[in-house]
Amino acid sequence: MTGGRAYYGNNDLAAALKHAAEDSSSYYLLGYYLDTHNKKAGWRKLQVSVARKDAEVSARAGFLVTNASVDPEVTHKADVEFALNSPFESTGIAVTEQWQGVSSDASKKRIGFALKVPATDLIDEADKNRFDVEFVARATKKGVVGDTMGQTIKGTVPPNGLAKIKADGIFYRNSFDLPPGEYQVQFVVRDNLSGRIGSVIVPLTVN
């Protein structure tokens, strides 16, 4: 099914490795666009043929289409939700967090914060300096969500501003409205162009 060759009933491992090395020394990589009109998940058959009679084709017999492949938004939402609920930090993007002061708002306190991420790997310079970054923050107290906010920032960076933003990074500022208590805060950043995610988990005490 994978297009590979099985070696069995033979102890000549050296010959098998030699053949594998020769077989992978030269190859073609073929690709095609998935039919987006067929939204049913499941197995898709593949068949590769060549005009030359002396050529032997080694190719996989098919591939599995998941719901995430058919609808990338499913993966998007699952990625963010997983990062928000995980006890471990995601390391796909370096995220730095800093609290930005407190102000009173009736029975709640407004807690400001700022996130910084490096812009170098988040800007697609091959596509007009395009970027698409999502920021999500959630504060929970004993497993109960106290406040959540998020925003997607996307666009293109002017060529004359590329060097500065690559040097300074990308900043996102917002705030929580929370009553007094002990909170755990999850900050999640997702690069929507590549699917990479970074997160940081910090404690927060609101007096």
What was the pLDDT predicted at 14?
92
- Give the tens place of pLDDT for each residue, 107-161: 889 999 999 999 988 999 999 999 999 999 999 999 899 999 999 999 999 999 9
User: What are residue 187's DSSP bridge partners?
Assistant: 137, 200
Residue 91: is its pLDDT beyond 90?
yes
Within 10 angstroms of residue 206's Cβ, the number of other Cβ atoms is 18
What was the pLDDT predicted at 38?
81
What was the pLDDT predicted at 120?
87
181 pLDDT tier (thresholds 50, 70, 90): very high
Residue 66: is its pLDDT beyond 90?
no
2 pLDDT tier (thresholds 50, 70, 90): confident
% of the chain surpassing 70 pLDDT: 99
- Give the tens place of pLDDT for each residue, 21-34: 988 888 888 888 87
Residue-range domains of the chain with CATH: 13-67 (no CATH), 71-206 (2.60.40.3880)
- pLDDT averaged over the chain? 90
Residue 173: is its pLDDT beyond 80?
yes
Dig out the tokens for 87 from the structure: 């006890």
| 187 close to 89: Cβ distance less than 8 angstroms | no
What was the pLDDT predicted at 68?
65
- In the chain the first and final C-alpha atoms are separated, in Å, by 61
Q: Of 139, 71, 48, nearest to 99 (Cα)?
A: 139
pTM: 0.68
What was the pLDDT predicted at 5?
81
What was the pLDDT predicted at 115?
96
